[in-house]
A and B are shown apart, each in its own frame.
Chain A
Amino acid sequence: MIMMDGVVKRYNDLIALDHFSFTARDGEIVGLLGPNGCGKTTAINCMLSLLTFDSGEIEIFGEKVDSNNNTVKRRIGIVPQELAIFDKLNVYENIDFYCGLYVSDNKERKKLVEEAIDFVDLEKYRKFTPGKLSGGLKRRLNIACGIAHKPELLFMDEPTVAVDAQSRHFILEGIKKMKAKGTTVIYTTHYLEEAEQLCDRMVIMDQGRSIAQGTVSQLQKSISTQERVEVGFLTEDQDMKKRLEELPHVVKVSSKNGNYLIHFETQENNLPNLIKFIESNDLTYTELTSERSTLSDIFLELTGKELRD
């Protein structure tokens, strides 16, 4: 569906995309993740041929991207990061306008617009102009404008920023339904839970490069720490850190709030091994918690940055 190979995009001295490669298969939801300024929006704009790029290749639906190829454009939808809605038009008129760029049949368009309004749950606000909508409601309108014509390929650039948890859940469910009907979605977000919940595959970007791709479990395997266990003991022992490090599969031991934080390189049998160790040494523990690595750990380890601003 999408093939992006070795794309380089420069803004004067700044390299926004540095030999960036990316693929998305039919019917997949692919997450594009990365810190601010890593080039997510730039990558999407190149795919949409809104931007020209310096070298590399991009194919969509098996055809080279071309800003004049209207048959390809007709099959694509976009929910841009920056709101693209008319201040003077109300909710219905905005969606109708954008849908009208793709669908000229009045009757069919009317039906599609109604469906889009349902999709983002804006029925109550259909006569409101954006000036009277809250930030989150505007975001929902922005989404409706992008999806109304039922594209086969949908780009969503941080669509759920400022949308409250309940509506976000509603929208994510909607996207899953679209996927079920065969829509391919390219999704960028800063919310890792969202990506974990929604995306079949993820591409992690940093400084214009793709540094890791795969499913959540594939990505997890690519990093050193798989599980972290925090443990505290009643009695102090000088050698304790060293003795913990000798346990199987331990990568490192650090301290946290006066407790020990043990990093394991696998996820198997770490807690039973630790409990066996405690029992055999007659120790009393005050606290014992275990945590599997999350996407945010993956992120931190791969990029050295927290994803959330």
Chain B
Amino acid sequence: MTVFKGILLHFWKYKILILILLAAFFGFAIMFSQGNSSDNYNSESLRLKVIDHSQSDISRGLIEYLNVNNEAEIINEEKTDIEALEEEIFLSAIDGFIIIPPDAQPRFMDGDPVVETTSDRRTSKHLQLQTAIQQYFMFLKADFDTTGTLHPNETIELLSESIDVKIHESVDVEAQSNFDYMKNYTNFAGYWIMLFLLIIVGNVMSEFNSPELKQRINVSPMKTGTFMYQMIISQIVVGLVVVAFMFFGAVALRSGELSGVPLGKMLAALILITAFTLSIHYVIGALTTNKFIINGLANFIAIGMAFLSGVMMPLEVMGETAQNIAQYLPLYHFTQIYAEADITWSESAFPMLVVALYTIAFLIIGMIVENKRKISS
């Protein structure tokens, strides 16, 4: 296993570069991950004070409804000091106060704004309060319009049920956002693996493919078949280690946020793109041992394909021509393996097959190029 060991030793010599590339990758991944989770809007319980001048069914209903999720304290209407209340908001002692006017019921019937609210407009709590009040009156109005009478208690029940539904829906939303994140992550990981393998494997193998060293190894009793075998095995090992880093890195990064993510398909996709990249590298290696050309080609191929396959930006943004070209690129099919959160294995089979066929095609091209070169030398 001297060649196998020798090649792995070479990869080890690139450890600093590999670490930098990995750090850059996970740096991006963590950055995206944080931006993503802050989107999850969490409603908090509001501390409110209510001055009820109306003492009607609808005002009592509103207070009851607000108390479902918040703390609404009714204060004495005689001793109301608006300025003091504003001061309390300013000091964050309360999140807002509501004044229900005496003519609340007729206002409601006329479709006029019923209550007056004060809260800090700069915080999300302002919006939360507005939404809660709007919801209450909307439901109440819908009920009134159909039945012609007011039933605040039933409205509250209805609203509470709809909150349950909402909570249920928001789980789905979470799954979708989990999937979206992992989809972007896997897209980026696919691109990164291509670039990484083309550069690192390219540089290592260009050394082994240099004519002096090849001749020298040819003189030794190492059989060509054994040499090839060890070379392929070592590349596969490196490829799998990289995939494992990408995959388990994501799993660690997103632990607890993985429901609804087709992880198996993503892993399969990453393994396939690794195999495909190694097959491209095989063709490049058969064409040249010049490191500059290898690095140039690596960037060109990886970035070009990434752009045209929707890995860098959604294909829909690009023109029709780009979209048409993309259909023929393996990286596009790579993204199709995990295109939907609930994709089935039979739906993934076709894009998986396409990537595998591309890999085989490149291996055959590589063999042809290599044989041509052997004959001409």
* Interface of A toward B, CB cutoff 8 Å: 48, 50, 67, 70-71, 73-74, 76, 78, 80, 82-84, 86-89, 93, 97-98, 100-102, 104, 145
Contacts and interface: CB of A to CB of B under 8 A. Distances in A.
Interface string B1-44: 01101100110010000000000000000000000000000000
Contacts of A100: 2, 5-6
Contact of A89 (B3, B9, B217, B223): B9
Interface stretch (B94-102, B122-130, B208-216): B208-216
A126 to B, nearest CB: 15
Interface string B183-222: 0000000000000000000001001000011011111111
Of listed B215, B217, B223, residue having the most chain A CB within 10 A? B215
A98 to B, nearest CB: 7
Instruction: List the 5 shortest-distance A-B pairs measured between CB atoms, nearest first.
Output: A100-B2, A84-B216, A101-B220, A70-B221, A73-B221
Nearest to B218: A50
11 contacts: A50-B218, A67-B218, A78-B216, A88-B9, A89-B9, A93-B6, A98-B220, A100-B6, A101-B3, A101-B222, A145-B216
Contacts of A76: 219
Contacts of A48: 219
Of listed A74, A97, A102, A104, residue having the most chain B CB within 10 A? A97
Contacts of A89: 6, 9-10, 13
B141 to A, nearest CB: 76
Interface in B234-256: none
B220 A80 contact: no
Interface residues of B, number: 20
Contact of A86 (B6, B215, B219, B223): B6
Contact of A87 (B3, B207, B222, B223): B207
Contacts of B9: 88-89, 93
B213 A84 contact: yes
A88 B219 contact: no
Given A70-B223, A97-B2, A86 B10 contact: yes
A102 B221 contact: yes
Contact of A97 (B6, B13, B212, B218): B6
A82 B212 contact: yes
Contacts of B212: 80, 82-84
A84 B221 contact: no
Given A88-B204, A89-B13, A93-B6, 10 more contacts: A50-B218, A50-B219, A86-B10, A88-B9, A93-B9, A100-B2, A101-B2, A101-B222, A102-B221, A104-B2
Contacts of B220: 73, 98, 101-102
A41 B2 CA distance: 27
Contacts of B6: 86, 89, 93, 97, 100
